[in-house]
């Protein structure tokens, strides 16, 4: 999916104008970072991944990621945990 890109802090990228490009990673990052209720136009979207740090049940996080990426319009191809790293592959064809 192409859209305006954001940096790791969530601010729009700027290089003599807004930067557009492949935005799948931005879409996944948004879903992971925001908490439910933070987007007024889609109040049910978001995981709030910081709330899962040191959580005893990674299965709950994995289920929530599957549900939320699908709700955001993504097609989740793979989701796995490697050691303490989350690996997500999804497509957004909008």
Which backbone phi and psi does 50 adopt, to 5 degrees? -60, -25
At residue 43, the pLDDT reads 94
Which pTM was predicted? 0.79
CA dist 61 and 79 (Å) reads 11
At residue 63, the pLDDT reads 93
Query: Tens place of pLDDT for every residue, the chain, 94 residues?
Result: 777 788 777 788 888 989 888 888 888 999 999 999 998 999 999 999 998 888 877 888 999 999 999 999 999 999 998 887 899 999 988 5
Is the Cβ–Cβ distance between 74 and 89 less than 8 Å? no
Across the strands, what pairs with 90? 76
Question: DSSP H helical segments within the chain, as ranges?
Answer: 24-33, 58-71
Q: What is the DSSP letter of 13?
A: P
């Amino acid at each position: 999916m192409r859209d305006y890109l954001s940096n790791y802090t969530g601010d729009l990228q700027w290089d003599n104008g807004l930067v557009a490009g492949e935005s799948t990673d931005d879409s996944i990052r948004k879903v992971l970072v925001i908490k439910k209720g933070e987007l007024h136009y889609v109040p049910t979207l978001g995981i709030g991944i910081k709330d899962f740090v040191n959580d005893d049940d990674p299965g709950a996080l994995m289920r929530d990621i599957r549900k939320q990426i699908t709700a955001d319009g993504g097609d989740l191809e793979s989701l796995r945990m490697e050691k303490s790293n989350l690996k997500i592959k999804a497509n957004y064809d909008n």
